[in-house]
Structure 1
Amino acid sequence: MDLRKLKTLIDLVSESNISELEITEADGKVRIVKSDGAVAVPMMMAAPVAAPVAAAPVAAAVAAPVVPEETGYIVKSPMVGTFYRAAGPNAKAFAEIGQQIKEGEPICIIEAMKIMNEIDTDVGGTITKVLCENGQPVEFGQPLFVIE
Structure 2
Amino acid sequence: MAVDLRKIKKLIELVQESGIAELAITEGEESIRITRYSPHPASAQAGAISSTQSSVPLPKPTQSRNAMPVIEGFVQVSPMVGTFHAAKNLADAPLVCVGQRVSQGDILCIIEAMRMQNPIEAQRDGIIGAIWVKEGDEVAFDHPLFTIIESDIS
Category of TM-score, reference length = shorter chain: 0.5 to 0.7
Measure how far apart 1:92 and its partner are: 1.4
The structural deviation recorded for 1:133 is 1.0
Paired position in structure 1 for 2:67: none
Partner of 2:147: 146
Question: Is it true that 1:132 corresponds to 2:88 in the alignment?
Answer: no
The percent of aligned pairs where both chains have the same amino acid is 34
Cα distance 1:64–1:79, how it changes in 2: closer, same or farther (>3 A)?
A: farther
What TM-score do you get using the length of structure 1 for normalisation? Answer: 0.55
| Distance in 2 (alpha carbons) for counterparts of 1:70 and 1:78 | 21
Q: How does 1:95-134 map to 2 (within 5 A)?
A: 95-134=96-135
Residue number in structure 1 paired with 2:21:
65
Task: List alignment gaps of at least 5 residues for structure 1.
Answer: 1-62
Give the number of equivalent residue pairs.
86
Which structure 2 residues correspond to residues 1-148 of structure 1 after superposition, within 5 A? 64-66=20-22, 67=35, 70-148=71-149
Please tell me whether Structure 1 or Structure 2 has the larger radius of gyration of its CA atoms. Answer: 1
Q: Residues 28-59 of structure 1, C-alpha deviation per residue, up to 9 Å, x if partnerless? A: xxxxxxxxxxxxxxxxxxxxxxxxxxxxxxxx
Q: Which runs of 4+ in 1 moved over 6 A?
A: none
Partner Cα distance (2:81, 2:72) in 1: 24
TM norm structure 2: 0.53
- 1:129 is displaced (CA, Å) by 0.2
SS in 1 for 2:145: strand
Distance apart, 1:70 and its partner CA: 4.5
How far has the Cα of 1:65 moved from its partner?
A: 2.2
After superposition, the CA RMSD in angstroms is 1.4
Name the amino acid aligned to 2:73.
G
